Amino acid sequence: MLTVKELGINAKKASRVLSVAKAEKNEALKNISAALIENAEYIIKQNNIDIENGRINGLSDAMIDRLRLDLDRIKGIACGVDEIIAMPDPVGKVISGNKLSNGLDISKVTVPLGVIGIIFESRPNVTADAAALCLKAGNCVILRGGKEAINSNKAIVKVMRDAIAKAGLPSDCINLVEDTTRASSIELMGLTEYLDVLIPRGGAGLIRAVVENAKVPVIETGVGNCHAFVDESADIDMASSIVFNAKTSRVSVCNALETLLVHEKIADKALPAIYDRLKEKNVEIRGCEKTVAILGDNAKLSTDEDYATEFLDYILAVKVVSSLDDAIDHIAKYSSGHSEVIITENYKNAESFLNRVDSSAVYVNASTRFTDGGQFGLGAEIGISTQKLHARGPMGLENLVSTKYIIRGDGQVR
């Protein structure tokens, strides 16, 4: 078992080859896609060990389901790789360029980031998705998955490493930290000499731990305390439909709605109508006093903490507010900066909300569930950035690169 530092050294070395590769990258990805299917039986066998261990260790059915790989899921992963193959290479693009008056020819071009560390939890499909995206953008990757999926991850990484070697690229382009103790995770977060970026993928606890401990530059992803504000002028049918969709179409995802804010002048009509839809899915309402006054027994009284919580469940925090400003203040205080929507027919309020709400995606009259690389037309994503440096919102291939300046001269001095 290689140490984290050894993996770093190997990845950095491989990066010098991968960063200048072109056609070999898609060839390697084609090999990976084919090899995942060819070796599906082996992968499933190793996955079964994880499932068995998970049962013994008392994982919930939902966790076991996330962990499970079957032929269909492996085909899905291979399909994801095929989609990445079809996308344009993000490396080597000239962003801008100029001939200066002294004759220097200067261009700014995209280059790979280098070596990317990814710390994630139990879903083994992340292993292949993330590695394939990184590879396409010319980046080596060091994966550190959860211990629940270690046998699955080892199998997938072995298959991928063999596949890329066949395309003439170093198998060290893809590396797995096999030590799943906390120590290996901490070591990875401090590997500044070899890692260019660290991307945590998982729940709020994991993200916080990485931000607190990492010395390597981090891209925060995926915590979504999303808000909808139903303005005084909202179309109530539209509001009900958007809130219902954003809250219930998939509760476990980061772009799901967590808090509903309703203008006091429409609350009497809007709240019962919205609740009528939500009750189809037994959504629990935790509301302010005014909400409870309107919805009666159908709402519990909320606490301050409810407004700060990403429930990822059939629970919705609700607050009646007295103005657009109130709504924006509430969002500024509690939001994680992921996605927010105003439902309104008022042009000025719509524009004001779009301008003043400081989140990665701000909507008028549409479900927050659209915040997604695929939905935005960006293709596969490595995560949804909720920070402001480098990338914000869905992070696709085009965000997995850096730039450099290339300057061609004929002897210029300053």
For residue 90, state whether it binds its own copies (rule: CB under 8 A): no
- Determine, following the binding rule CB under 8 A, whether residue 356 of this chain makes contact with its own copies: yes
CA separation for the pair 287, 320 (Å, rounded):
8
Residue 98 interacts with its own copies (CB under 8 A): yes or no: yes
CB 243 within 8 Å of CB 276: no
- List binders of its own copies among 156-215 (CB under 8 A): 192, 196-197, 211-212, 215
Bridge partners of 106, per DSSP, are 98, 407
Q: Are 374 and 380 in contact (CB under 8 A)?
A: yes
Distance CA 398, CA 147 (A): 31
Q: Which of 221, 249, 260, 269 is nearest to 382 (CA)?
A: 221
Report the residue number, 110 or 175, with the smaller CB distance to its own copies. Answer: 110
- The sign one gets for the Cα dihedral 119, 124, 126, 130 is positive
φ/ψ of residue 259, rounded to 5: -135, 135
Q: How far is the CB of 241 from its own copies (least distance, A)?
A: 6
Among 61, 297, 305, 410, binds its own copies (CB under 8 A): 410
User: How far, in Å, CA of 283 to CA of 294, rounded?
Assistant: 16
Q: Which is nearer to its own copies, 62 or 413 (CB)?
A: 413
First to last CA, the chain: 52
Check if the beta carbon of residue 195 is closer than 8 Å to that of residue 8. Answer: yes
Contacts (CB under 8 A) with its own copies, residues 104-143: 104, 106, 108, 111, 113-114
Q: Can residue 348 be called a binding residue for its own copies (CB under 8 A)?
A: no
For 51, the token pair is 């499932």
Which member of 218, 228, 283, 380 binds its own copies (CB under 8 A)? 218
Task: Determine if 404 is a binding residue for its own copies (CB under 8 A).
Answer: yes
Binding its own copies (rule: CB under 8 A), the pick from 69, 128, 242, 267 is 242
- Interface residue list for its own copies (CB under 8 A): 16, 19-20, 98, 100, 104, 106, 108, 111, 113-114, 192, 196-197, 211-212, 215, 217-219, 235, 238, 241-242, 244-246, 249, 332, 350, 354-356, 358-367, 369-371, 375-377, 387-390, 392-393, 402-414
